Amino acid sequence: MQALNSLTNSSLVTDISSDQDSMFSSIHLAQTVAYYETIITQGDEHSYNYWYLGLAYLLQQREVDAQSTWFIPFAEADELETVALTDELSGILDRVASQEFINHNFDNSWLICQYLREVDSTHINNLLRSILLAIKLDLFSPENLVEWQGIEILSTYTDLELDLELLDLMLGSILNFPSEFICEFIHQCLVSFSTVRSHLIELISNTLLNLGHRLGANSFMTQILEICLEFEPQNTIILQILCRLNCSLAEYQKAINISFLIYSLCNGSAQKIIANANIIRTLLTAGDWQTVMPIIDRHDQLLEIFINQKQQDLSPAINQNILVAATFLPYIADRPAYYRSIQNQISQAYLDLNRPQAITKIIEPAALPKQIGVLRIAYLASTLRSHSVGWLSRWLWQYHDRTKFQIFTYCINQNPDDPFYQKWFRDRSEMADCFGNNADEIAAQIRADQIDILIDLDSLTLDTTCQVLAAKPAPIQVSWLGWDATGLPTVDYFIADRYVLPDNAQDYYQEQIWRLPQSYLAVDGFEVGTPTIRREDLDIPHDAIIYWSGQRGYKRHPQTIRLQMQILKSVPNSYLLIKGESDRHTIEELFGIIANEIGVDLDRLRFLNTVADEVTHRANLAIADIVLDTFPYNGATTTLETLWMGIPMVTQVGEQFAARNSYTFMLNAGITEGIAWNEQEYVDWGVKLGLDRKLRLTVQDKLRSGRTTAPVWNARQFTLDMEQAYQEMWTKYLDTSL
């Protein structure tokens, strides 16, 4: 009874102790009711006794008793007393609702909040908590904001007792509900909470960035960012996110305009590099190769300035973005020695600039590293979903030997409810975690899990992944599959094979190249759906030769298009199907200009829309007689899909990793027909395969028979090769550590 007796103490005026909070658990409710009923009957009619008795009734689901009990102190109160009593009751309900929320007793907190709204309809923290609770309890609808007079409460807000943590949680959750009501509510929040506006805008921007990564972009996200820009029109972080979202929504011209605006607002070489890279990325995504070339020349100059001067005052946002500021260069030209040198220097500069944050976080090796045993292998990626990396990497999880390896999966910006992720990755891992963009948090978890070998599947596609690698949370770090090597000195190895990198590649790679005995990647094949296009739908004769080129706008180098037009011109009764995400008008204009230049009628070109899913895309590939690859950036997933479908293809081999993917996959699929070492050979192979039906059939037969024998289709053996590499890496680490 000590806790119960304390209820009459004056400390109740200002707070509720943890002992008193426990009285409102289901275990103590009956005792609490009996206690207050007794002391009130004995004549102690202090208002607090009625407030707590009513609260106990409420949590017993005796709502009528609660209301009648709370009414008693008001019965004979005058106007001033009524105001004071209301404040008392409101304060107690708010404090208990808050404590129940903190204790995750969400049903209790929700119930109390509903009654607090009746007592004080303008209580700002109660509004925020009610929204958050409704979301957590799956009761929320944007229309609740109207019902609860959210805009009106915000517009009359004067209370200095704002719970900022509660506001942050609410804003981070409410953005999952696209609605005009939410847009209006967010706008009013930024108007009303002016003293913390910049903080809220940063929170909103980061939340939308994460949502865009996990769930895809939508127009609601751009609306919210545009609202933020009303208050901070020159906020380059908001503009960068808005640019990327518009790109994802195929609003290319908006994205391009924003990217140029960002550049105009930047000062300093590092900021300009990042902004200029954003312009190039946006233009190439749209397929606007006619505008991009002078911007690329400017980028080379900016990179040279940055590398040659010491930058010591860069903000964290600039630091992390500088790591990926040269990722698009392989789309422009096949110059691996030069481009790798640039990337290596950028990565080294990043570490130099962030030495206190990155280098000092490097894991300290154990005094006696463990000997060969069950190795803890971790995969780090932002793409373990229905994405090229997800489709291609899933077989490792399928075939890993769990008696020799424990598999950990760390996902960045991954929707944990995604069925593809759950089936192929989460359910095949000893441990799987989904994180946001906090690199420190991810690195800390990797260290805590005592990972032996960390495999990076993103490389230069995501700055957060690079930041994790820079912190060196595992003693051995490896890049594989995602893009190309990061150039970070904290990454030990880059997985390749004997074909995908030339013999002299180690001369310009910072990482040690680890060549697997066969293909650096293998899959067991692909699921194929039902085709949705036919020749008659495209007005193409049944006896025509169909060439196919399916790539995004940033792989549509004009010189490759010229070669494709030359092939088309040389093969009578041939057509080219063009598919891939880009700005439709821009790509049609680009192909049209080059077709006119070469002398190819535009009616021999067909521009296809994207389809709903990968299985349909693969089925539609069957319409093609020959697939024409891109250069200097080949296909990878698209190449494997083509080969799996048994379709001959033509690729030009270069020197850089991106220009040799199709080469290694074709060799490992069992064919050499279609492999060109220069532009003329590319054209010659394209023409020959178009004119020689017997040759096409021969290639098709090789590809189909190779499904059961070729290395690129043997994911089980490939997994054994990777596991052997991991064990050898660990042995080498032990030899150098002891």
Rounded to whole angstroms, the Cα distance separating 614 from 593 reads: 31
Which among 496, 387, 448, 510 is positioned nearest to 725, based on CA atoms? Answer: 496
Q: How confident is the model at residue 76 (pLDDT cuts 50, 70, 90)?
A: confident
Which among 534, 539, 574, 564 is positioned nearest to 693, based on CA atoms? Answer: 574
Sign of CA dihedral 426, 241, 588, 652: negative
Q: Mean pLDDT across the chain, nearest whole number?
A: 91
The CB-based long-range contact list for 102-109 (8 Å cut-off, 24+ gap) reads 103/21, 105/25, 106/133, 106/136, 106/137, 107/137, 108/24, 108/59, 109/133
Q: Kindly state the greatest CA–CA separation across the chain.
A: 106
Give the three-class secondary structure for 546.
strand
Q: What is the pLDDT, as a whole number, of residue 411?
A: 96
Tell me the helix, strand and coil percentages in the chain, rounded to 5.
60, 10, 35
H/E segment holding residue 219: helix 219-231
Instruction: Examine the pLDDT at 390 and tell me if it is beyond 70.
Output: yes
Task: Give the mean pLDDT of 593-613.
Answer: 95
Q: How confident is the model at residue 161 (pLDDT cuts 50, 70, 90)?
A: confident
Cβ atoms 148, 188 nearer than 8 A: no
**Cβ-based burial of 372 (10 A; exposed 0-12, middle 13-18, buried ≥19):** exposed
Instruction: Examine the pLDDT at 40 and tell me if it is beyond 80.
Output: yes
What's the chain's Rg over C-alpha atoms?
A: 31
Q: How confident is the model at residue 44 (pLDDT cuts 50, 70, 90)?
A: confident
**Cβ-based burial of 373 (10 A; exposed 0-12, middle 13-18, buried ≥19):** exposed
Give the three-class secondary structure for 676.
strand
Instruction: Examine the pLDDT at 36 and tell me if it is beyond 60.
Output: yes
Instruction: Examine the pLDDT at 734 and tell me if it is beyond 90.
Output: yes
Question: What tens digit of pLDDT does each residue of 444-475 get?
Answer: 999 999 999 999 999 888 889 999 999 999 99
- Amino acid code (one letter) for 649: M
Instruction: Examine the pLDDT at 210 and tell me if it is beyond 90.
Output: no
The CB-based long-range contact list for 596-601 (8 Å cut-off, 24+ gap) reads 597/562, 597/565, 598/562, 598/565, 598/566, 598/569, 599/569, 600/565, 600/568, 600/569
The CB-based long-range contact list for 41-44 (8 Å cut-off, 24+ gap) reads 44/8
Q: How confident is the model at residue 362 (pLDDT cuts 50, 70, 90)?
A: very low
Phi, psi dihedral angles at 67 (to 5 degrees): -65, -45
Q: What is the pLDDT, as a whole number, of residue 4?
A: 36
Rounded to whole angstroms, the Cα distance separating 446 from 378 reads: 8
Q: What is the pLDDT, as a whole number, of residue 283?
A: 96
* DSSP 8-state class, residue 451: -
Pick from 50-64, 339-353, 365-379: least confident: 365-379
Q: How confident is the model at residue 124 (pLDDT cuts 50, 70, 90)?
A: very high
Instruction: Examine the pLDDT at 501 and tell me if it is beyond 60.
Output: yes
Pick from 272-276, 354-358, 396-400, 582-586: least confident: 354-358
Instruction: Examine the pLDDT at 14 and tell me if it is beyond 50.
Output: no
Question: What tens digit of pLDDT does each residue of 622-637 get?
Answer: 999 999 999 999 999 9
Pick from 179-193, 297-311, 473-487, 509-523: least confident: 297-311
pTM: 0.86
Instruction: Examine the pLDDT at 313 and tell me if it is beyond 90.
Output: no
Q: How confident is the model at residue 320 (pLDDT cuts 50, 70, 90)?
A: low
Q: What is the pLDDT, as a whole number, of residue 315?
A: 59
Instruction: Examine the pLDDT at 331 and tell me if it is beyond 60.
Output: yes
More confident position, 424 or 10: 424
Give the three-class secondary structure for 56.
helix
Task: Give the mean pLDDT of 323-346.
Answer: 91
Instruction: Examine the pLDDT at 611 and tell me if it is beyond 80.
Output: yes
Q: What is the pLDDT, as a whole number, of residue 723?
A: 98
Domains of the chain: 2-228 (no CATH), 250-344 (no CATH), 359-515 (3.40.50.11380), 536-713 (3.40.50.2000)
H/E segment holding residue 79: helix 79-102
Q: What is the pLDDT, as a whole number, of residue 360?
A: 42
Q: How confident is the model at residue 3 (pLDDT cuts 50, 70, 90)?
A: very low
Task: Give the mean pLDDT of 702-720.
Answer: 97
Q: Count Cα atoms within 13 angstroms, Cβ side, for 621.
A: 31
Instruction: Examine the pLDDT at 358 and tell me if it is beyond 60.
Output: no
Q: How confident is the model at residue 371 (pLDDT cuts 50, 70, 90)?
A: low
Question: Which residues sit opposite 550 in a β-bridge?
Answer: 579
Q: How confident is the model at residue 373 (pLDDT cuts 50, 70, 90)?
A: confident
Q: How confident is the model at residue 221 (pLDDT cuts 50, 70, 90)?
A: very high
Beta strands at 626-628 and 545-550: parallel, antiparallel or unpaired: parallel
Cβ atoms 272, 284 nearer than 8 A: no
Question: What tens digit of pLDDT does each residue of 511-557 get?
Answer: 999 999 999 999 999 999 999 999 999 999 999 999 999 999 999 99
Q: What is the pLDDT, as a whole number, of residue 26?
A: 56
Q: How confident is the model at residue 23 (pLDDT cuts 50, 70, 90)?
A: low
More confident position, 415 or 371: 415
More confident position, 504 or 313: 504
Rounded to whole angstroms, the Cα distance separating 538 from 578 reads: 12
Instruction: Examine the pLDDT at 197 and tell me if it is beyond 80.
Output: yes
Q: What is the pLDDT, as a whole number, of residue 314?
A: 57
Q: What is the pLDDT, as a whole number, of residue 463?
A: 87
Rounded to whole angstroms, the Cα distance separating 494 from 478 reads: 6
- Overall residue count recorded for the chain in this entry: 738
Cβ atoms 582, 605 nearer than 8 A: no
